[in-house]
Structure 1
Amino acid sequence: MNPSHIEPAPGGPVSPQLDVVLQLARTQTVVMRRLDGALASYHGLSFNDFLLLHHLSQGPGCRLRRVDLAERHGLTASGITRTLLPLEKLGLVERQQEPRDARVAYAALTAAGRELLGHAHVLAEQISKDLLRNSTPAELQALSQALALVAAMAQAR
Protein backbone atom coordinates (compact mmCIF):
# COMPACT_ATOMS: atom_id res chain seq x y z
CA MET A 1 0.00 0.00 0.00
CA ASN A 2 1.37 3.38 -1.01
CA PRO A 3 0.70 6.02 1.70
CA SER A 4 0.60 8.78 -0.95
CA HIS A 5 -2.71 7.35 -2.23
CA ILE A 6 -4.46 7.66 1.13
CA GLU A 7 -6.67 10.70 1.55
CA PRO A 8 -6.60 12.17 5.05
CA ALA A 9 -9.97 12.11 6.78
CA PRO A 10 -9.88 14.78 9.48
CA GLY A 11 -12.64 13.95 11.90
CA GLY A 12 -14.01 11.39 9.48
CA PRO A 13 -14.31 7.63 9.67
CA VAL A 14 -11.22 5.48 10.01
CA SER A 15 -10.55 2.09 8.53
CA PRO A 16 -11.13 -1.00 10.68
CA GLN A 17 -7.36 -1.55 10.70
CA LEU A 18 -6.61 1.95 12.00
CA ASP A 19 -9.39 1.56 14.56
CA VAL A 20 -7.68 -1.59 15.88
CA VAL A 21 -4.32 0.20 16.09
CA LEU A 22 -5.90 3.18 17.88
CA GLN A 23 -7.67 0.87 20.33
CA LEU A 24 -4.40 -0.98 21.00
CA ALA A 25 -2.64 2.31 21.71
CA ARG A 26 -5.41 3.48 24.04
CA THR A 27 -5.48 0.15 25.84
CA GLN A 28 -1.71 0.16 26.27
CA THR A 29 -1.84 3.66 27.75
CA VAL A 30 -4.58 2.76 30.25
CA VAL A 31 -3.01 -0.55 31.30
CA MET A 32 0.51 0.88 31.57
CA ARG A 33 -0.71 3.80 33.67
CA ARG A 34 -2.47 1.44 36.07
CA LEU A 35 0.45 -0.98 36.38
CA ASP A 36 3.08 1.78 36.53
CA GLY A 37 1.28 3.50 39.39
CA ALA A 38 0.79 0.36 41.44
CA LEU A 39 4.27 -1.06 40.89
CA ALA A 40 5.92 2.28 41.65
CA SER A 41 3.90 2.74 44.84
CA TYR A 42 4.59 -0.68 46.25
CA HIS A 43 7.90 -1.74 44.73
CA GLY A 44 9.56 1.34 43.21
CA LEU A 45 9.46 -0.24 39.75
CA SER A 46 7.98 0.97 36.49
CA PHE A 47 6.06 -1.51 34.38
CA ASN A 48 8.98 -1.31 31.94
CA ASP A 49 11.34 -2.41 34.75
CA PHE A 50 8.93 -5.21 35.63
CA LEU A 51 8.93 -6.40 32.00
CA LEU A 52 12.72 -6.49 31.89
CA LEU A 53 12.91 -8.46 35.14
CA HIS A 54 10.17 -10.79 33.87
CA HIS A 55 12.03 -11.40 30.59
CA LEU A 56 15.20 -12.22 32.54
CA SER A 57 13.30 -14.60 34.81
CA GLN A 58 12.21 -16.56 31.72
CA GLY A 59 15.79 -17.16 30.58
CA PRO A 60 17.88 -20.18 31.57
CA GLY A 61 19.37 -19.46 34.99
CA CYS A 62 17.38 -16.19 35.10
CA ARG A 63 19.70 -14.59 32.59
CA LEU A 64 19.76 -13.63 28.93
CA ARG A 65 22.30 -12.31 26.51
CA ARG A 66 21.93 -8.54 26.50
CA VAL A 67 21.28 -8.51 22.74
CA ASP A 68 18.48 -11.08 23.16
CA LEU A 69 16.95 -9.06 26.00
CA ALA A 70 17.12 -5.94 23.83
CA GLU A 71 15.31 -7.73 21.01
CA ARG A 72 12.58 -9.09 23.31
CA HIS A 73 12.11 -5.62 24.73
CA GLY A 74 12.23 -3.82 21.39
CA LEU A 75 15.37 -1.82 22.17
CA THR A 76 18.78 -1.35 20.62
CA ALA A 77 21.89 -2.69 22.34
CA SER A 78 22.70 0.79 23.68
CA GLY A 79 19.06 1.28 24.69
CA ILE A 80 19.07 -1.88 26.80
CA THR A 81 22.33 -0.80 28.43
CA ARG A 82 20.78 2.54 29.45
CA THR A 83 17.62 0.81 30.65
CA LEU A 84 19.46 -1.81 32.71
CA LEU A 85 21.86 0.62 34.38
CA PRO A 86 19.46 1.79 37.13
CA LEU A 87 18.44 -1.83 37.84
CA GLU A 88 22.12 -2.77 38.10
CA LYS A 89 22.76 0.13 40.50
CA LEU A 90 19.85 -1.07 42.66
CA GLY A 91 21.37 -4.57 42.74
CA LEU A 92 18.41 -6.18 40.95
CA VAL A 93 20.35 -7.13 37.82
CA GLU A 94 24.02 -7.87 37.26
CA ARG A 95 26.17 -7.87 34.17
CA GLN A 96 27.95 -11.16 33.46
CA GLN A 97 30.61 -11.82 30.84
CA GLU A 98 30.87 -15.01 28.82
CA PRO A 99 34.21 -16.54 29.86
CA ARG A 100 34.82 -18.05 26.41
CA ASP A 101 33.86 -14.96 24.39
CA ALA A 102 34.51 -11.46 25.73
CA ARG A 103 32.11 -10.00 23.15
CA VAL A 104 29.13 -11.73 24.76
CA ALA A 105 27.57 -10.14 27.83
CA TYR A 106 24.60 -11.33 29.85
CA ALA A 107 22.11 -9.59 32.10
CA ALA A 108 21.16 -11.76 35.06
CA LEU A 109 18.68 -11.39 37.88
CA THR A 110 20.27 -11.21 41.30
CA ALA A 111 18.71 -12.81 44.37
CA ALA A 112 17.33 -9.37 45.30
CA GLY A 113 15.92 -9.02 41.77
CA ARG A 114 14.21 -12.41 41.96
CA GLU A 115 12.71 -11.56 45.34
CA LEU A 116 11.42 -8.16 44.22
CA LEU A 117 10.08 -9.63 40.99
CA GLY A 118 8.19 -12.26 42.98
CA HIS A 119 6.40 -9.58 45.00
CA ALA A 120 5.81 -7.39 41.94
CA HIS A 121 4.47 -10.39 40.02
CA VAL A 122 1.80 -10.98 42.67
CA LEU A 123 0.69 -7.35 42.36
CA ALA A 124 0.73 -7.42 38.54
CA GLU A 125 -1.38 -10.61 38.62
CA GLN A 126 -3.91 -8.95 40.95
CA ILE A 127 -4.19 -5.88 38.75
CA SER A 128 -4.46 -7.98 35.57
CA LYS A 129 -7.23 -10.07 37.09
CA ASP A 130 -9.04 -6.92 38.19
CA LEU A 131 -8.70 -5.29 34.75
CA LEU A 132 -10.07 -8.39 33.00
CA ARG A 133 -12.46 -9.53 35.74
CA ASN A 134 -15.53 -9.74 33.50
CA SER A 135 -13.84 -11.86 30.82
CA THR A 136 -14.43 -15.56 30.43
CA PRO A 137 -11.50 -17.95 30.01
CA ALA A 138 -12.49 -18.40 26.35
CA GLU A 139 -12.53 -14.62 25.80
CA LEU A 140 -9.13 -14.26 27.45
CA GLN A 141 -7.69 -16.99 25.25
CA ALA A 142 -9.17 -15.44 22.09
CA LEU A 143 -7.89 -11.99 23.04
CA SER A 144 -4.42 -13.33 23.81
CA GLN A 145 -4.31 -15.15 20.47
CA ALA A 146 -5.53 -12.07 18.58
CA LEU A 147 -2.89 -9.86 20.21
CA ALA A 148 -0.17 -12.42 19.46
CA LEU A 149 -1.31 -12.45 15.82
CA VAL A 150 -1.15 -8.64 15.61
CA ALA A 151 2.35 -8.68 17.13
CA ALA A 152 3.49 -11.37 14.68
CA MET A 153 2.08 -9.45 11.70
CA ALA A 154 3.73 -6.22 12.86
CA GLN A 155 7.11 -7.93 13.30
CA ALA A 156 6.87 -9.61 9.89
CA ARG A 157 6.96 -6.22 8.12
Structure 2
Amino acid sequence: MSEQHLPLPDSGAALALALSLARAQATMVRRLDQVLGSYHGISFGDFMLLNSLARAPGGRMRRVDLAERQGLTASGVTRTLLPLEKIGLIERQQDPRDARVAYAAITESGRELLHNATPAAEQCSKDLLRNCPAEQYPALTDALTIISGLPGVA
Protein backbone atom coordinates (compact mmCIF):
# COMPACT_ATOMS: atom_id res chain seq x y z
CA MET A 1 0.00 0.00 0.00
CA SER A 2 1.47 3.32 -0.97
CA GLU A 3 1.77 6.15 1.47
CA GLN A 4 -0.49 9.07 0.66
CA HIS A 5 0.58 12.62 1.31
CA LEU A 6 -2.00 15.27 1.76
CA PRO A 7 -1.18 18.54 0.04
CA LEU A 8 -0.33 21.34 2.42
CA PRO A 9 -2.87 24.11 2.51
CA ASP A 10 -1.74 27.51 1.31
CA SER A 11 -0.42 29.60 4.15
CA GLY A 12 -2.41 32.71 4.89
CA ALA A 13 -0.67 36.04 5.11
CA ALA A 14 -0.79 36.03 8.94
CA LEU A 15 0.81 32.58 9.16
CA ALA A 16 3.44 33.50 6.58
CA LEU A 17 4.29 36.60 8.62
CA ALA A 18 4.45 34.57 11.86
CA LEU A 19 6.78 32.01 10.25
CA SER A 20 9.00 34.76 8.83
CA LEU A 21 9.14 36.50 12.24
CA ALA A 22 10.12 33.24 13.93
CA ARG A 23 12.93 32.62 11.41
CA ALA A 24 14.16 36.20 11.70
CA GLN A 25 14.06 36.05 15.51
CA ALA A 26 16.03 32.79 15.58
CA THR A 27 18.64 34.21 13.20
CA MET A 28 18.99 37.44 15.17
CA VAL A 29 19.29 35.70 18.54
CA ARG A 30 21.86 33.23 17.21
CA ARG A 31 24.06 36.00 15.75
CA LEU A 32 23.72 38.29 18.77
CA ASP A 33 24.49 35.36 21.10
CA GLN A 34 27.66 34.68 19.09
CA VAL A 35 28.84 38.29 19.12
CA LEU A 36 27.98 39.06 22.74
CA GLY A 37 29.27 35.71 23.96
CA SER A 38 32.56 36.02 22.09
CA TYR A 39 33.35 39.55 23.17
CA HIS A 40 31.54 40.00 26.47
CA GLY A 41 30.71 36.53 27.84
CA ILE A 42 26.95 37.07 27.92
CA SER A 43 24.02 35.86 25.86
CA PHE A 44 21.59 38.11 24.05
CA GLY A 45 19.00 37.13 26.68
CA ASP A 46 21.37 38.36 29.40
CA PHE A 47 21.88 41.58 27.44
CA MET A 48 18.12 42.08 27.17
CA LEU A 49 17.68 41.61 30.93
CA LEU A 50 20.48 44.04 31.75
CA ASN A 51 19.06 46.54 29.24
CA SER A 52 15.57 46.32 30.77
CA LEU A 53 16.94 46.80 34.28
CA ALA A 54 19.16 49.71 33.26
CA ARG A 55 16.15 51.49 31.70
CA ALA A 56 13.85 50.85 34.68
CA PRO A 57 13.34 53.53 37.34
CA GLY A 58 16.10 53.16 39.92
CA GLY A 59 17.70 50.41 37.82
CA ARG A 60 15.42 47.78 39.29
CA MET A 61 12.24 45.89 38.50
CA ARG A 62 10.03 43.44 40.30
CA ARG A 63 10.95 39.98 39.11
CA VAL A 64 7.40 39.30 37.92
CA ASP A 65 7.45 42.48 35.81
CA LEU A 66 10.86 41.59 34.40
CA ALA A 67 9.57 38.12 33.49
CA GLU A 68 6.61 39.63 31.65
CA ARG A 69 8.82 42.16 29.85
CA GLN A 70 11.17 39.38 28.69
CA GLY A 71 8.40 36.95 27.75
CA LEU A 72 9.52 34.49 30.43
CA THR A 73 7.79 32.69 33.26
CA ALA A 74 8.59 33.68 36.85
CA SER A 75 10.74 30.56 37.25
CA GLY A 76 12.38 31.21 33.86
CA VAL A 77 13.46 34.70 34.88
CA THR A 78 14.76 33.35 38.20
CA ARG A 79 16.87 30.72 36.38
CA THR A 80 18.18 33.42 34.04
CA LEU A 81 19.00 35.86 36.84
CA LEU A 82 20.89 33.40 39.07
CA PRO A 83 24.11 33.28 36.99
CA LEU A 84 24.01 37.06 36.54
CA GLU A 85 23.65 37.45 40.28
CA LYS A 86 26.54 35.05 40.96
CA ILE A 87 28.90 37.08 38.78
CA GLY A 88 27.74 40.38 40.26
CA LEU A 89 25.89 41.90 37.31
CA ILE A 90 22.58 42.05 39.13
CA GLU A 91 21.54 41.86 42.76
CA ARG A 92 18.42 40.76 44.56
CA GLN A 93 16.63 43.37 46.62
CA GLN A 94 13.71 42.92 48.98
CA ASP A 95 10.97 45.50 49.35
CA PRO A 96 11.32 46.94 52.86
CA ARG A 97 7.52 47.29 53.09
CA ASP A 98 6.58 43.88 51.70
CA ALA A 99 8.88 40.87 52.17
CA ARG A 100 6.96 38.94 49.50
CA VAL A 101 8.15 41.36 46.78
CA ALA A 102 11.58 40.74 45.26
CA TYR A 103 13.39 43.06 42.90
CA ALA A 104 16.21 42.45 40.46
CA ALA A 105 18.56 45.43 40.30
CA ILE A 106 21.44 46.10 37.97
CA THR A 107 24.78 46.63 39.70
CA GLU A 108 27.50 49.05 38.71
CA SER A 109 29.38 46.10 37.14
CA GLY A 110 26.23 45.22 35.20
CA ARG A 111 25.92 48.80 33.94
CA GLU A 112 29.56 48.79 32.87
CA LEU A 113 29.21 45.51 31.00
CA LEU A 114 26.01 46.73 29.32
CA HIS A 115 27.75 49.97 28.35
CA ASN A 116 30.68 48.01 26.85
CA ALA A 117 28.46 45.43 25.10
CA THR A 118 25.98 47.87 23.56
CA PRO A 119 28.21 48.98 20.63
CA ALA A 120 28.77 45.33 19.63
CA ALA A 121 25.03 44.60 19.85
CA GLU A 122 24.29 47.76 17.86
CA GLN A 123 26.78 46.85 15.12
CA CYS A 124 25.53 43.28 14.92
CA SER A 125 21.95 44.58 14.68
CA LYS A 126 22.93 46.95 11.87
CA ASP A 127 24.63 44.09 10.04
CA LEU A 128 21.56 41.88 10.42
CA LEU A 129 19.27 44.66 9.19
CA ARG A 130 21.58 45.88 6.41
CA ASN A 131 19.02 45.07 3.69
CA CYS A 132 16.17 46.83 5.48
CA PRO A 133 15.92 50.57 4.86
CA ALA A 134 16.51 52.50 8.10
CA GLU A 135 13.45 54.66 7.46
CA GLN A 136 11.32 51.50 7.92
CA TYR A 137 12.69 50.82 11.43
CA PRO A 138 10.09 52.94 13.28
CA ALA A 139 7.14 51.30 11.51
CA LEU A 140 8.57 47.81 12.05
CA THR A 141 9.28 48.60 15.71
CA ASP A 142 5.69 49.81 16.14
CA ALA A 143 4.30 46.65 14.51
CA LEU A 144 6.45 44.36 16.66
CA THR A 145 5.50 46.30 19.79
CA ILE A 146 1.83 45.73 18.96
CA ILE A 147 2.47 42.01 18.44
CA SER A 148 4.32 41.77 21.79
CA GLY A 149 1.39 43.31 23.60
CA LEU A 150 3.72 45.41 25.74
CA PRO A 151 3.64 49.11 24.88
CA GLY A 152 6.95 50.93 24.67
CA VAL A 153 9.14 47.86 25.21
CA ALA A 154 12.69 48.37 24.00
1:1-150 equivalences under 5 Å are 10-150=7-147
> How many residue pairs get matched?
145
Amino acid at match of 2:31: R
Task: Tell me the distance in 2 between the aligned counterparts of 1:76 and 1:149.
Answer: 20
Task: Tell me the distance in 2 between the aligned counterparts of 1:107 and 1:59.
Answer: 10
- When the two chains are superposed, the root-mean-square deviation of aligned CA atoms in Å is 1.7
Name structure 1 gaps, 5 residues minimum: 1-8
If asked which structure has higher relative contact order (CA below 8 Å, sep 6+), I would say 2
For residue 11 of structure 1, report the CA deviation from its aligned partner.
Answer: 4.1
Aligned to 1:151: 148
Name structure 2 gaps, 5 residues minimum: 1-5
For residue 122 of structure 1, report the CA deviation from its aligned partner.
Answer: 1.2
Aligned to 2:3: none
For residue 143 of structure 1, report the CA deviation from its aligned partner.
Answer: 1.4
Q: What TM-score do you get using the length of structure 1 for normalisation?
A: 0.85
Amino acid at match of 1:132: L
Sequence identity, in percent? 59
